[in-house]
Amino acid sequence: MANVIVLLEAKDASTLRPACLRAITFGREVSQTVGGALSLLLLGHEVGKLGEAARGYGADQVYVVDDCSLTPPLAERIAPTLRNVALLANATIVIAAATAFGKDVLPRLAELLDAAFVSECIGFEICSNDLLWRRPISAGNAVAYCKSESAHTVVSVRHTEFEPANAKLDFSPIEVLQAAKAEPLIDRVEPIGFEIVESSRPDIAEAHIVVSGGRPLAGRFFQVLGPLADALGAGLGATRAACDGGHVPSDYQVGQTGRVVSPDLYIAVGISGAIQHLSGIKGARIIVAINSDPEAPIVSIADYALIGNLFELVPDLTDELNRRKRDT
Amino acid sequence: MRILVPLKQVPDPDSANKLRVSNDNLRLDNTAIEKKTNPFDECALETALRLTEDARSPRQRHGEVVVVTLGPSDADVTLRSALATGADRAIRIEASDDQIDARCVAQALAALTLREACDLVLIGKQSVDGDSNEVGQRLAARLGWPQVTFASRIVAQHDSRFEIERAVDGGTQTVAVQTPVVITVDLRIVGPDAVRSTHTPTEYQYIAGLRFASLPAIMQARRKPLVVMTLDNLGIQLTRCLRYVRYEIPPSRIGGRVLSNPGELMNLLINEAKVL
């Protein structure tokens, strides 16, 4: 038996990030399998409303730590508090979504707990009484099963592999706890700015359809792909080459070093299909490649490939979509 | 400033699709794949070199760049090539892959960081084989140092203070930090304007990417110090906590239809794939 705690994240003052709702689903599956309690933890400042929201997911307990030192979130401050709460809750499995936040904080927590860290977990199973965690390695070219040999286990979950948890009718009990004391020697990172990537389009980790572009689009990236994404109600992503070209914010990057997506439909425009990019789209249900090169690696794995001039095909496809939308 | 740059030798990531698993699923077979330095760590080395030079005369180091790897003697290639690129000296900690996990690596690196009195550790944000994104954060926690992960730009204000841009959810955060600190870098850190030392004029633009070693530098690197240490020398007892027990190669996707007409694609997406 092991108790499970899931670290939640705020999207804004009153909503939880969709990624952590998916992490709750994973956490519940784990706690049900190992037969332990499930608790949720919310860290931040003035998070009262969110704490209330967190009560609605059927966990055995919700913990809230409300402290001005926890925002903006810095690993040096979050990890010690998280450790204290995990110990207090007697939770030996600590889970959070593999967002940039989770990836920053969880390995630090693992070291503080002398614990194993399972990165980007996509599932688990019980095998001769051992709990085995499943995770992709080498850009998703292999899947490994690993076993924790420490008392605690810290897990970042590839949340796109799981459905968001639904709110339930009953409310979990809530307990407010203190933040760990700041340690001046460690606490030397000073946030001085934040540049938000504004987008009116859906977040690619959540979108049902993602349109992504590669290097050939260059300076015409938004001009060509924007109307298609809007006609589909899609999120917009890009390859590393497109981001490095400076025409697209780095937040758009999909792949091993960027973000992982698992939409119903992924439309890859002018993307050759490097191993590192394919790593981020393995969960997509249908992949469409629009490419000038019929020999591009992506064509060999795409469900549908449209071959020809991108700068003609994409506007034609957009017009076709808009025409059919008008007709129905 | 003395910078420690840990380097990991990995199977060439561009051949990762040649990975195989043994028949009993217990071992990963990457023997057919050429070894190279983890690309993220190469970027960390480039960052360290840029931070310790005046780009107009890059052969002179202002500070010291020490590279380290854990591994068998095969991994010396990685260290020699780092020395040829500009690192001052190299250390190999004798270890075998099946003996260590990320926690052990952090333990060994922490001991070495203190022993070498380094005030900055620059490391890739993840290795392209393990993909764990773990060692830098563990090392910082173990040392009781702050961490700045996923750095895409570093500007040195003086030798011990940096302004760093890092990729976070929804945008880019800028932080200021004093040494000692562990910084993990993204591939973007090798952009033309991504790293600014206090010695290089602000208007200087680097050629994007990694620098190459010249032939004389490769010859000269043979005379630079490469020290081999054991875990005993470092006075540490490794305690591993994660064990890989089984591997699988996931089924590969099989390509479908090749089309040339957007209308036809629309029909298939609606009627066959049912995604629109």
Question: Quick check: B16 and A275 CB within 8 A?
Answer: yes
Q: What is the CATH number of the domain that holds A92?
A: 3.40.50.620
pLDDT above 80 (res A328): no
Question: Which pLDDT value is given to residue A245?
Answer: 87
The residue with greater pLDDT, A186 or A78, is A78
pLDDT in tens, A50-78: 999 999 999 999 999 999 999 889 999 99
Question: Which pLDDT value is given to residue A170?
Answer: 81
Across B32-103, the runs of DSSP E, i.e. the strands, are 35-37, 64-71, 89-94
Question: Quick check: B255 and A299 CB within 8 A?
Answer: yes
Are the C-beta atoms of residues A315 and B264 closer than 8 Å to each other?
no
For A124-151, what is the mean pLDDT?
96
Q: Can you tell me the distance from the alpha carbon of B125 to that of B119, in angstroms, rounded to the nearest whole number?
A: 18
Q: Which chain A residues in 168-207 lie under 8 Å from chain B, judged by CB atoms?
A: 183, 185-197
Q: Does residue A191 sit within a domain?
A: no
Q: Does residue A194 sit within a domain?
A: no
What is the chain B residue with the closest CA to A294? B258
Q: What is the largest CA-CA distance in chain A?
A: 66
Is A103 an 8 Å CB contact of chain B?
A: yes
Q: Are residues A168 and A61 in the same domain?
A: yes
The C-alpha of A230 sits at a distance from chain B's nearest C-alpha, in angstroms, of 14
Q: Are residues A169 and A42 in the same domain?
A: yes
The C-alpha of A255 sits at a distance from chain B's nearest C-alpha, in angstroms, of 12
DSSP H or E run through A121: strand A116-121
pLDDT in tens, A36-46: 999 999 999 99
Interface test with A, best of B125, B173, B174 (most A CBs within 10 A): B173
Question: Quick check: A144 and B247 CB within 8 A?
Answer: yes
Residues of A in contact with B38 (CB under 8 A): none
Q: Are residues A142 and A251 in the same domain?
A: no
Q: Are residues A13 and A71 in the same domain?
A: yes
Question: Quick check: B176 and A148 CB within 8 A?
Answer: no
Q: Are residues A74 and A114 in the same domain?
A: yes
Residues of A in contact with B242 (CB under 8 A): 116-118, 146-150
The C-alpha of A262 sits at a distance from chain B's nearest C-alpha, in angstroms, of 13
Q: Are residues A150 and A213 in the same domain?
A: no
Question: Which pLDDT value is given to residue A185?
Answer: 75
Give the Cβ contact number of residue A129 at 10 Å: 5
pLDDT above 80 (res A146): yes
Confidence category of residue A196, pLDDT binned at 50, 70, 90: confident
Question: Quick check: A142 and B252 CB within 8 A?
Answer: no
Number of domains in chain A: 2
Ordered structural domains, chain B, with CATH: 2-271 (3.40.50.620)
Q: Are residues A223 and A320 in the same domain?
A: yes
For A98-126, what is the mean pLDDT?
97
Q: Could you tell me the pTM of the whole model?
A: 0.96
Q: Does residue A159 sit within a domain?
A: yes
Q: Say how far residue B30 (Cα) sits from the centre of its chain.
A: 20
Question: Quick check: B255 and A303 CB within 8 A?
Answer: yes
What is the chain B residue with the closest CA to A17? B169
Residues of A in contact with B248 (CB under 8 A): 142-143, 145
Q: Are residues A319 and A271 in the same domain?
A: yes
Of A144, A183, A194, the CB nearest to B171: A194
For A217-239, what is the mean pLDDT?
97
pLDDT in tens, A253-273: 999 989 999 999 999 999 999
The C-alpha of B223 sits at a distance from chain A's nearest C-alpha, in angstroms, of 35
Low-confidence ranges of chain B (pLDDT < 70): none
The C-alpha of A44 sits at a distance from chain B's nearest C-alpha, in angstroms, of 16
ipTM: 0.96
Q: Does residue A203 sit within a domain?
A: no
CA neighbor of B216 nearest in space, from B89, B91, B83 = B83
pLDDT above 80 (res A280): yes
Question: Which pLDDT value is given to residue B252?
Answer: 86
Q: Can you tell me the distance from the alpha carbon of B207 to that of B193, in angstroms, rounded to the nearest whole number?
A: 9
Question: Which pLDDT value is given to residue A184?
Answer: 77
pLDDT above 80 (res A297): yes
Question: Which pLDDT value is given to residue A307?
Answer: 97
Q: How far apart are the first and last CA of chain B?
A: 57
- Choose the weakest-confidence range: A92-106, A185-199, B253-267: A185-199
Are the C-beta atoms of residues A220 and A191 closer than 8 Å to each other?
no
* Chain A, chain B: beta-carbon pairs less than 8 Å apart: 265
N residues, chain B: 276
Of A143, A183, A287, the CB nearest to B247: A143
Residues of B in contact with A17 (CB under 8 A): 169
Question: Which pLDDT value is given to residue B98?
Answer: 79
Question: Quick check: A286 and B142 CB within 8 A?
Answer: no
Q: Are residues A112 and A236 in the same domain?
A: no
Q: Are residues A144 and A64 in the same domain?
A: yes
Question: Which pLDDT value is given to residue A198?
Answer: 80
Range of the structural domain that residue A96 is part of: 3-177
pLDDT above 80 (res A28): yes
Q: What is the CATH number of the domain that holds A232?
A: 3.40.50.1220
Single out the residue in A177, A192, A226 at which a domain terminates.
A177
Q: Are residues A108 and A246 in the same domain?
A: no
Q: Are residues A116 and A231 in the same domain?
A: no
Question: Quick check: B266 and A139 CB within 8 A?
Answer: no
